[in-house]
Structure 1
Amino acid sequence: MSVATVAAVDPDRHALVLPECQCGTCAPTWARRRGKSRRFSEPVTLVAALEREDAVARPGMVEQHRECLEQMTAVADRVIAVTARDDLSRPGGGLALVMFAAELASAVRADEYRGELPAGLVRVCEQAVTAATLAAAGCLSGLVEMMQMLSALAD
């Protein structure tokens, strides 16, 4: 897959950070600095981060989010390949993946930042969101079946 080339301009107020988590299913999140602090301590969505950054930093932020999403998708694909559909380790990763993908999908919508981003970047972001959604569905399919069985038992 070809990847859009984006000039790297670091955002001033935000960073994509990994949460302190031991479960392995938590997604990174955008975090904002509060005031003059050097720490990125306020979690925000990608769109909320883009709103407060200079326009020149936005393509780089979207690209960083996309790259991270592709890495998460690859991990989910590996989990799917080695686990059974009803394995309880699958759903957590699937939920985190679909939520992280939704942030990127929201950012490249026509009424958000699509017009400010290079067309090639928008295209690869849409492809990454599609791949992530498919992987998330694979992770969550066993959960859906389990909920249907529980629902049938309750009737």
Structure 2
Amino acid sequence: MEDSAKIGTCVEHSRNNKYFVEFVEHQEKLKAKNPAAYEGVNLEDDGAFLAYMTRKYFKDNIFASLVKVIIGIAVIIVSRILIAKGGSSTMNIVSIGLFIVGIFLAPAGLIFFFSNLNCYKHYKDYVTGRDDPFMDKVIKFYS
């Protein structure tokens, strides 16, 4: 019971933030373009807000996750070059540290990328009206 109270509080807080205002403005623009499609539709629907935020968050982060993968691979390559080149013990320690950072950064970026693609697929299914049990569960959880 406490969880549902927390969720209700989160929904109330989300209605007062800038993202919700941005969402309502977005909905009003869409309604102005095609009034017949939005006739009788609640422009402040929690499910539509959740779908909008999912799209905004995950689509933006797909690019960021690819950047993490590229930086991770670049760091691994640079560290391997520094180790192969040889040098002072301090440089070797720095190279090993860079290698460890790269080893964790590249897979983390890949995991982030594929999870974002998966969530974006769920969002597209929800928006296009296809049955998507995952989004139904998420909307039930937040409403």
Shorter-normalised TM range: 0.3 to 0.5
| TM-score, normalisation: structure 1 | 0.33
Q: TM-score normalized by structure 2?
A: 0.35
Higher normalized helix content (fraction of residues): 2
Structure having the higher Rg: 2
Structure having the larger proportion of residues in strand: 1
